[in-house]
Each structure stands twice: as structure tokens, then as C-alpha cells.
Amino acid sequence: MCRSRRSLSSGEANRPPAPPWATVPAGFTLVELMAVLVILGLAAAIVVPMVSNTGDIEASAAARKLTSDLLFAQNHAITHQTRVRLSFDCDANQYTLAEVPASGDPVVLTHPVTRRPFVVGFNAVEGLEKVDLASADFSSLPQVEFDSLGAPSQGGTVILTSGTFSRGVSVAPVTGKVTVD
């Protein structure tokens, strides 16, 4: 059996062993733990209110959805050379897109993606359940109609709310330009 001996320098050989209280324990001090807890508490105080209050995001998403449906109605009227009406029902929290023939009753359009009647109820749209259709005012009517050139029958605004936040979607008279306020 071979053992190798490490030679000690003269400084190491004469040094007494360190007392038990002088060794560094593995772990964190109370001050370090408290500092980490304070930092985490401040981060939580800033982040949690931002995450829990999603009303602004929901109202903005609903406004974008309504904007895309208004543009769809306008484009459908132009490409099919017909009149398309968006009727708003604030009590039911929904709106309907319908084609208006020269004679007869309006016919509800078929949604191009879902292949169902083009009726959008915010209560039934995932993520927009808390959005309310607060008002729709197009010259005192809750509807707007686009002609075969894409021009609206009248300008107006739709107000969508979620919690304390609201977004307005406006349709400009004559041009039909759709904007989110």
C-alpha cells in the first residue's frame, strides 16, 4: 500500500486549527433572506394588479373584433354589390350582420370561418365575457348599413366597456372609415 504524503509548507505546519466559530456555515443569513423577501414583495405588488385587471385588454380586444366585422361588412357590400347591415342589440349584448336585398327582409350572413349565422354575442366569445355593448348610436339608430360602394348610411359610434375601461369604435360618415378611440 502506497501512501503519498503531502509536504506542508512551514506556514501551514505552524498554523493552529481554526476554532469552530470561525468557519463559514453553508447557507444564508437572516439579512440576506429578508432582502430577497422585500424584493419579491415589491415585485408582486407591481405585477399582481397589472395581471388581475384585464378590463382594458378585454375592451380593446372587443373593439378590434368589432372593427374587423365592420370592415368585413363593408367589403362584403362592395364585392357582392349589395347592402349589408350591422344591427346592434345592447340588451342582448350582441350584433348581427345581414344582407339587405332590394325587396324583402334582411338575410343574416354566414360567418366565413364558423359557417354559422353571423351573430356576435360578447357573452359567448371566449375572453370577452366581461365586455358589455354599452351603446350604439348611428343617428339615433342602433344600426349602420353599408351600400354597394362601401359608404355607410350614417356615421356613428359604438361604445364597449369592460370593468372601468371603455373603447369606442367610430364609423365616419360618407367614407366609412372605421377607427378605435
Domain ranges of the chain: 55-180
Q: Tens digit of pLDDT for each residue in 65-95?
A: 999 999 999 999 999 999 999 999 999 999 9
Q: Tens digit of pLDDT for each residue in 147-174?
A: 999 999 999 999 999 988 999 999 999 9
Q: Tens digit of pLDDT for each residue in 1-22?
A: 555 555 555 556 667 776 666 6
Average pLDDT, the chain: 87
* pTM score of the predicted model: 0.71
Q: Confidence class of residue 25 from pLDDT cuts 50, 70 and 90? A: low
SS (H, E, C) the chain: CCCCCCCCCHHHHHCCCCCHHHCCCCCCCHHHHHHHHHHHHHHHHHHHHHHHCCHHHHHHHHHHHHHHHHHHHHHHHHHCCCEEEEEEECCCCEEEEEEECCCCCCEECECCCCCCECEEEHHHCCCCCCCEEEEEEECCECEEEECCCCCECCCEEEEEEECCEEEEEEECCCCCCEEEC
CATH of domain 55-180: 3.55.40.10
